[in-house]
Structure 1
Amino acid sequence: MSDIRIRKAEGTWTVRAGGAVLAESRNALELSEDGHADVIYFPREDVAMAFLDRTDHGTHCPKKGDASYYSIMTKSTELQNAAWSYEDPLPEAERIRDHLAFYASDTVTVERV
């Protein structure tokens, strides 16, 4: 029995950091995983990739696969490993291929508008 559920996120979702809109999408996905907060994944084509710089950081999830990380470059700072992507996800998480998720923080907002 899978404890990962992926569905279309209702409405329009945005990511903002450093005064800039990094992503805006009506096609975001919402991933629910037992024991974790829901995560919004944005299609890569709806993300301003010019603000992101790939890092050499990586993690492994036994249910989703290997994650690659990106730092967000704002005018004033670099937010280390603030976004991640499963570029070759395991079959259970295939729908999040070519999507990115962002850590919400005091400097990064992920919200439905």
Structure 2
Amino acid sequence: MTVDPVLQSPAFVDAIRNPEDPNHLMVIKPVMRKIRVFAGETLLADTTNAIRVMEVGRGVYDPVIYVPETSLQSPFSELSKSTHCPIKGDASYVAIGGDEIGWVYKTPLEMSLQLKNHYAFWPDKVRIVEGN
């Protein structure tokens, strides 16, 4: 398979790549500011240890902020839903009040261990505040 020349640039030197498709990749970077996640006025997470995942697959996906489990401020219920990503692993989904709100990688693939026990949220269901 031919790798897109753009995806060979220095910006992607540390990217985690799908072994079956090197054009499917992600870059994980720390967020250098405080992150708070809200559902309405309910604080879901508060952290200075978030990470941002930028992924290229079938297209360029919007960046996603993941917060560590230790930063969660509200209880979540686990749903029976799961999905698989060839560069992240198996995602489990979580809800508040029965409404699916996000996902977590409890046992990510070895190449994506930085995501272990980090939660991400559907952007149309939460408000993310970056900075003070």
- With normalisation by structure 2, the TM-score equals 0.74
Aligned to 1:87, which of 102, 106, 109?
106
AA at the equivalent of 2:111: E
After TM superposition, where is structure 1 displaced by more than 6 Å over at least 4 residues in a row?
A: none
Gaps of 5+ in 2: 1-14, 18-24
Shift of 1:111: 2.6
Aligned to 1:37, which of 62, 74, 88?
62
Secondary structure class of the residue paired with 2:106: coil
- Please name the residue that 1:48 is paired with: 73
Shift of 1:21: 0.6
Shift of 1:49: 4.4
Shift of 1:102: 0.7
AA at the equivalent of 1:99: H
Say how many residue pairs are matched. Answer: 106
Q: Structure 2 CA distance, aligned partners of 1:24 and 1:62? A: 29
* % identical aligned pairs: 30
Contact 1:102–1:110 under 8 Å retained in 2? no
1:1-113, aligned counterparts within 5 Å? 2=17, 3-34=25-56, 35-50=60-75, 52-73=76-97, 78-80=98-100, 82-105=101-124, 107-113=125-131
Contact 1:67–1:85 under 8 Å retained in 2? yes
AA at the equivalent of 1:6: I
Contact 1:14–1:112 under 8 Å retained in 2? yes
Gaps of 5+ in 1: none
Question: Whose radius of gyration is greater, 1 or 2?
Answer: 2
How big is the alpha-carbon RMSD for the aligned residues of Structure 1 and Structure 2?
1.4
Contact 2:87–2:112 under 8 Å retained in 1? yes
AA at the equivalent of 1:44: E
